[in-house]
Amino acid sequence: KQTLLPLLKEEVSSFIFPCKPAVQRPERQHMVMELLRCIPLLLFLIFVCGLDHFIFTVLSVIQNHSFIEYSYQASHHLSVNVMGTSLMAQLLRGTIGALNTSFESEMETSNLVCLPRPSGMTRQQYLNTCLPLGLLALLCLAQVYPFRLRRAIAAFYFPKREKARVLFLYNKLLRQRKNFLHLQRGRVARQARQPPELGTVLLRWCHRRWPWLRRCLRQKCTLCGTPETPQHQPCPNPDCFALYCESCW
């Protein structure tokens, strides 16, 4: 409950608020890790699609530039002429004349049957291939919202464990805040011991000389560094020029 333990600005970033629609810092770290696990799948998919396109291009070049067509033509004429009018000539003309032949042949062939016939993937096929990976990436982005229900489900079934978790978290925050204040006090004390820089001295002098310049030359909180607002509290020590926001004060 914020009424029981208001969180500081440094503590808000380490908690997950279920009602906030934006992805918060702890969830963002887990989401980035899940997205990084998708990178090997994406690289493998790009390699496979690139290899498919390369093989299709090579086979298309072979199909378009390796076509060879053969044309074969042949003619044969055999004619035996026997001259004379004798009986032997007539007999030869009757027997050898049967050998007279004449034919022509023409044949055309090609290597079309041996050439590859590649078929490239369409855009729809590429889209269907990349769609599962896209859905996986969307699930990595959207899984932060169902994960917020884990605490509510565990609190519903184990109310005593939920109460112990809340008390443990409350005490842990108190210890962390006590240590945080101790460390910040030491840091501010070390910063106060150091001699001020020339710009800081000039800024203080301008604030004293012309108070209306405070609107233009705003200071920052000594602890968290937030710009100066009317709610900021100056240190009551007149020799100290430290300025604190409302939560740090």
pLDDT tens for each residue of 55-75: 999 999 998 888 888 888 888
Percent of the chain with pLDDT over 90: 23
Strands 243-244 and 233-234: antiparallel
Regarding pTM above 0.75, the answer is no
pLDDT tens for each residue of 70-111: 888 888 887 777 777 777 777 777 777 777 777 788 888 888
Are 155 and 162 spatial neighbours (Cβ–Cβ below 8 Å)? yes
Q: Tell me which of 18-32, 83-97, 126-140, 173-187 is least confident.
A: 83-97
Handedness of CA 144, 22, 4, 175 (dihedral sign): positive
Q: Fill in the DSSP letter of residue 73.
A: E
Distance CA 214, CA 55 (A): 70
Strand partners, 74: 105
Q: How many of the other CB atoms lie within 10 Å of CB of 242?
A: 15
Are 123 and 130 spatial neighbours (Cβ–Cβ below 8 Å)? no
Q: Which helix (H) or strand (E) holds 58?
A: helix 25-65
Q: Which helix (H) or strand (E) holds 153?
A: helix 149-157
Indicate whether 157 pLDDT > 90. Answer: yes
Distance CA 164, CA 7 (A): 20
